[in-house]
Structure 1
Amino acid sequence: MNLKKVLVWLAVAFVVFYVIQQPESSAQMVKSAGEALGDAASSIAAFVTSLV
């Protein structure tokens, strides 16, 4: 196996381990990321609207 595949599998294993060990923290992290993406989408929409 090449190094890239090994690193990807290690990252996946770490994420799974983290989710199993701290599900509340993981849920909060996903919620925060979703809110950040929503805010970014709103900002882009406002920018595009202001161009018209």
Structure 2
Amino acid sequence: MLKKVLVWLAVAFVVFYVIQQPESSAEMVRSAGTALGDAASSLAAFVGSLV
């Protein structure tokens, strides 16, 4: 029960944040995507160097 309430509170906070500060939210998502892309490229280079 507590887990369900915490999940709903987290979702509500994210929605509130996106509505209040859309530019900041977009920049955060953009930087997270860039970080994930860089990590994937690094992992691919590592695996490629093993062969």
Q: What percent identity do the matched residue pairs reach?
A: 90
> 1:1-52 residue pairs with structure 2 within 5 A?
3-52=2-51
CA–CA separation in structure 2 for the residues paired with 1:18 and 1:44 = 32
Residues 6-41 of structure 1 show CA distances to partners (whole Å, capped at 9, x for unaligned) of 000000000000000000000000000000000000
C-alpha RMSD over aligned residues: 0.2
Task: Give the number of equivalent residue pairs.
Answer: 50
Structure 1 gap segments, 5+ residues each: none
* Superposed structure 1 runs of 4+ greater than 6 Å apart: none
TM-score, scaled to structure 1: 0.95
